[in-house]
Amino acid sequence: MKLTYTGKTKNVYALEDGNYLLQFKDDVTGENGVFDPGANTVGLTMEGAGRAGLKLTKFFFEKLQEKGIPTHYIAADIEKATMTVKPAQVFGEGLEVICRFRAVGSFLRRYGKYATDAQPLDAFVEVTLKDDDRQDPPISEDALDMLGILTKEEYQTLKSLTQQIAHVVKDELAVKGIELYDIKFEFGRVGEDKQIVLIDEISGGNMRAYKDGEYIEPLELEKMFL
Binding flag, residue 139, a copy of itself (CB under 8 A): yes
Of residues 2 and 109, the one with the C-beta less far from a copy of itself: 109
Query: Could you say which of 112, 151, 156, 215 contacts a copy of itself (CB under 8 A)?
Result: 112
Binding flag, residue 160, a copy of itself (CB under 8 A): no
Of residues 143 and 178, the one with the C-beta less far from a copy of itself: 143
For residue 67, with 0-12 CB atoms within 10 Å meaning exposed, 13-18 middle and 19 or more buried, which class applies? exposed
Binding flag, residue 149, a copy of itself (CB under 8 A): yes
Q: How far apart are the first and last CA of the chain?
A: 31
Side-chain-facing half-sphere of 51: CA atoms under 13 Å:
8
Question: To the nearest whole angstrom, how small is the minimum distance from the Cβ of residue 114 to a copy of itself?
Answer: 4
Contact at 8 Å (CB) between 208 and 18? no
Angle between helices 49-66 and 152-175 (to 10 degrees): 110
Judged by CB under 8 A, which stretch of 2-10, 23-31, 81-89, 137-145 contacts a copy of itself? Answer: 137-145
Of residues 87 and 92, the one with the C-beta less far from a copy of itself: 92
Judged by CB under 8 A, which stretch of 60-68, 145-153, 189-197, 216-224 contacts a copy of itself? Answer: 145-153
Contact at 8 Å (CB) between 111 and 103? yes
Contacts for 138-141: CB closer than 8 Å, 24+ residues apart: 138/106, 138/110, 139/95
Number of residues that bind a copy of itself (CB under 8 A): 29
From CA 114, how far away is CA 21, in angstroms rounded?
43
Question: To the nearest whole angstrom, how small is the minimum distance from the Cβ of residue 109 to a copy of itself?
Answer: 7
From CA 36, how far away is CA 76, in angstroms rounded?
25
Binding flag, residue 70, a copy of itself (CB under 8 A): no
List of residues contacting a copy of itself (CB under 8 A): 92-93, 109-115, 121-122, 124-126, 129, 131, 133-134, 137-143, 146-149
